Amino acid sequence: QLQQSGPGLVKPSQTLSLTCAISGDSVSSNRAAWNWIRQSPSRGLEWLGRTYYRSKWFNDYAVSVKSRIAINPDTSKNQFSLHLNSVTPEDTAVYYCARGWEYTSWGQGTLVTVSS
């Protein structure tokens, strides 16, 4: 199971930060990958990036956000986080965390609005 947390309102130019807590699995699993995905009426479903462990940590990011995104694992809390900086109203979306390459489990979704 994946449980998301984080603010629903972020000001333009600031950093959007969300956390996804994992239960029933490990963020350090050698078989899993941990993703952030968002959904908006204008952009549809958009994969943002992932983190995964294969003897060391790897990160992959979508080209569209690569310059301003970071996805970090936290092994002590068995969770991972999304940080998206320099946000604009175009970053307003429902954000999901999800497990896997094909997404077998999803978080509940967090509506994040970028507005002053």
Partner 1 sequence: EIVLTQSPGTLSLSPGERATLSCRASQSVTSNSLAWYQQKPGQAPRLLLYGASSRATGIPDRFSGRGSGTDFTLTISGLEPEDSAVYYCQQYAGSHTFGQGTRLEIK
Distances (CA, A) of 4 to 22, 64, 96, 112: 9, 23, 8, 12
Distance CA 13, CA 72 (A): 21
Nearer to partner 1, 64 or 75 (CB): 64
Q: Are 18 and 4 in contact (CB under 8 A)?
A: yes
Nearer to partner 1, 36 or 53 (CB): 36
As measured in angstroms, the least distance from the Cβ of 63 to partner 1 is 7
As measured in angstroms, the least distance from the Cβ of 83 to partner 1 is 19
Nearer to partner 1, 9 or 45 (CB): 45
Distance CA 4, CA 30 (A): 22
According to the binding rule CB under 8 A, does residue 6 interact with partner 1? no
Distance CA 17, CA 11 (A): 12
According to the binding rule CB under 8 A, does residue 101 interact with partner 1? yes
Stretch 59-78 residues interacting with partner 1 (CB under 8 A): 60, 62-63
